[in-house]
Structure 1
Amino acid sequence: MAMKSDQIDSIGPLEKTPTMSRRVAEYLARLIAGGSLRPGEKLPGETALAQRLGVSRPTLREALGVLRAKGLVEVRPRSGTYVTSALAGGGPSAVGELVAVDPTKIWELLEIRKVVDTAAAALAASRRTPADLIRLAELRQSVRNLGGHSLIRRGEGGKAYARFFAFIAQASHNTLFSHLLSWVSTTLRHLLPYSRDRLAGRPESGPVIMDQIQAIAQAIEDGDPDRARRLTMEHLEYLEKALREVHALQPPVVIGG
């Protein structure tokens, strides 16, 4: 029996619901983000974990595959499945996944930045070379060309921001410290879309951040480590305050919540 035209017109897309394996992956990701499952901790065996979760082993295997792809767990041959350290095998993308699950993790990243970025700025001011000063002038000009509003509204603005703080890491001329700061900088790039989306609700923050970057750059150029450290801290405190204000007004949607 042929369908009538009005019946055909009534056909629409079905509501998409998450598969059970995705729900399991999101649940385990939340446990990792919340610290209930810690880096290096071994998960229960496949049979035991599937029973605890009330799912089949194939469903659990699929969920663990999703977590492996996101860098949140790793399988060690003849040993088991372990929670990955975001600072080791997981890398910046794993940190990005944790923030996607629990956006409040961005405050923890800012705590780290208050320690390492401020110290790096002081070192850069003390150790910058003529070549560093040339690169610094180029970065300052690229930020000026973008303008304050584009700094938070456009993807290129976020990249310019990350490049500036990556430069500070390099200008510290401390190889091990530079590697640590490179990790922070790469992680920062993974989180920029979240921060940029949030700060879009505060358009006035763009010009303020641009001025702060220029001031930090000037302190480095002037060879003033104390001022570079202080201005970097002021920038990070402003960034945290602005993000917390918009966070309160626009509570994030936690994946699987």
Structure 2
Amino acid sequence: MIKKKQEIVLDSVPRKTLAKEVADRIIQLLASGQLKPGDKLYPETELTKMLSVSRPVLREAMSSLESLGIIHRKTRDGTYFSEKISSKPYTNMLSLAGDDLPSIIEARMALELGMIAMAAEKITDQQLDELNQTIKALSEHPGDYSQVDKEFHRIIAFSVNNYILEGMIDSLLMAFDRMSKNIQFRERDVAVEHHKAIYEALKKRSPSEAFAQMYRHLDYVRKKILKQRKESKA
């Protein structure tokens, strides 16, 4: 007896595919240089004619671009390309990492080690003072000092003053939070020592020394977290 094939139900593909193509073409306006970041897009009626699509398809494409931070809408003024790279794509990618803590740690290390060398060249005296204040606060903190620790790394990240990297910084701090949750015990004296060494390297404006000290710090944290994680699963 031949079994009856199970009925398979699939969502309609054409419209979603078309909306993606529309989104890609709108992005191409930036890639080709026809429009620049911060420029206002054509009105909806003009875009539908230019792209030969319906309003629902265009609106679906625009919604996807807005969710990625590529465009933003101003009430009663129209739609604009964003002037800066949004953190949303990076945050979305990081959320897909799930429980892959080793990859999250490596991603954070790669980003911070790249930024610390540039920070040594760009960090201001005011930002150095702010770093020093976080070290003082860390040394006096009686309990969970993760937020003070996070502020130390945030100051360094923003000192680079690079609008492309700024789009990644929120994801970096999100990775920081996920790593901090996996630290079962803290060693404040070690953290203070590491932070002071990083601060002194930045104060001397030495990219190579700043890189070496940040690597020492992050590698120490990485090994501690992965060891604790392995022991908790044993």
Q: Aligning the two structures, in what range does the TM-score lie when normalised by the shorter sequence?
A: 0.5 to 0.7
CA distance in 2, matches of 1:214, 1:249: 30
Q: Quote the residue 2:171 is aligned against.
A: 183
8 Å CA contact retained: 2:123, 2:156: no
8 Å CA contact retained: 1:127, 1:172: yes
Structure 2 stretches lacking a partner, 5+ long: 1-7, 12-58, 62-66, 69-85
CA distance in 1, matches of 2:227, 2:188: 15
Secondary structure of residue in 1 paired with 2:121: helix
8 Å CA contact retained: 2:122, 2:160: yes
CA distance in 2, matches of 1:242, 1:91: 26
8 Å CA contact retained: 1:139, 1:164: yes
Query: CA, structure 1 residues 129+235, in 2 after alignment: closer, same or farther (shift >3 Å)?
Result: same
Deviation at 1:77, TM superposition (A): 5.3
Q: Is 2:224 the counterpart of 1:236?
A: no
Deviation at 1:216, TM superposition (A): 0.9
Aligned residue among 138, 145, 170 for 1:143: 138
Q: Is 2:154 the counterpart of 1:166?
A: yes
Kindly report which structure 2 residues correspond to 1:41-80, keeping only aligned pairs within 5 A, or say none.
Answer: 47=9
8 Å CA contact retained: 2:91, 2:171: yes
8 Å CA contact retained: 1:118, 1:232: yes
Q: Is 2:201 the counterpart of 1:219?
A: yes
Matched AA of 1:161: D
Matched residues, percent identical? 15
CA distance in 2, matches of 1:145, 1:178: 30
Whose helix proportion is higher, 1 or 2?
1
Query: CA, structure 1 residues 226+112, in 2 after alignment: closer, same or farther (shift >3 Å)?
Result: same
Matched AA of 1:127: K
8 Å CA contact retained: 1:121, 1:229: yes
Query: CA, structure 1 residues 187+245, in 2 after alignment: closer, same or farther (shift >3 Å)?
Result: closer
Q: Quote the residue 2:232 is aligned against.
A: 250
Structure 1 stretches lacking a partner, 5+ long: 1-45, 50-75, 79-83, 253-257
CA distance in 2, matches of 1:159, 1:93: 23
CA distance in 1, matches of 2:95, 2:214: 23
8 Å CA contact retained: 1:128, 1:171: yes
Paired residues in the alignment total: 159
Deviation at 1:124, TM superposition (A): 1.2
Q: Quote the residue 1:195 is aligned against.
A: 182
Query: CA, structure 1 residues 145+93, in 2 after alignment: closer, same or farther (shift >3 Å)?
Result: farther
8 Å CA contact retained: 2:194, 2:217: yes
Cα deviation digits, residues 71-129 of structure 1 (max 9, x gap): xxxxx959xxxxx99x9757648845854xx2xx1211111122110121111111121
Secondary structure of residue in 1 paired with 2:182: helix
Deviation at 1:164, TM superposition (A): 0.9
CA distance in 2, matches of 1:223, 1:88: 28
8 Å CA contact retained: 2:105, 2:179: no
Cα deviation digits, residues 226-247 of structure 1 (max 9, x gap): 1111111111111111112111
Secondary structure of residue in 1 paired with 2:152: helix
Secondary structure of residue in 1 paired with 2:161: coil
CA distance in 1, matches of 2:205, 2:223: 28
Q: Quote the residue 2:122 is aligned against.
A: 127
Query: CA, structure 1 residues 174+237, in 2 after alignment: closer, same or farther (shift >3 Å)?
Result: same
CA distance in 2, matches of 1:135, 1:110: 25
| TM-score normalised by structure 1 residue count | 0.53
Secondary structure of residue in 2 paired with 1:249: helix
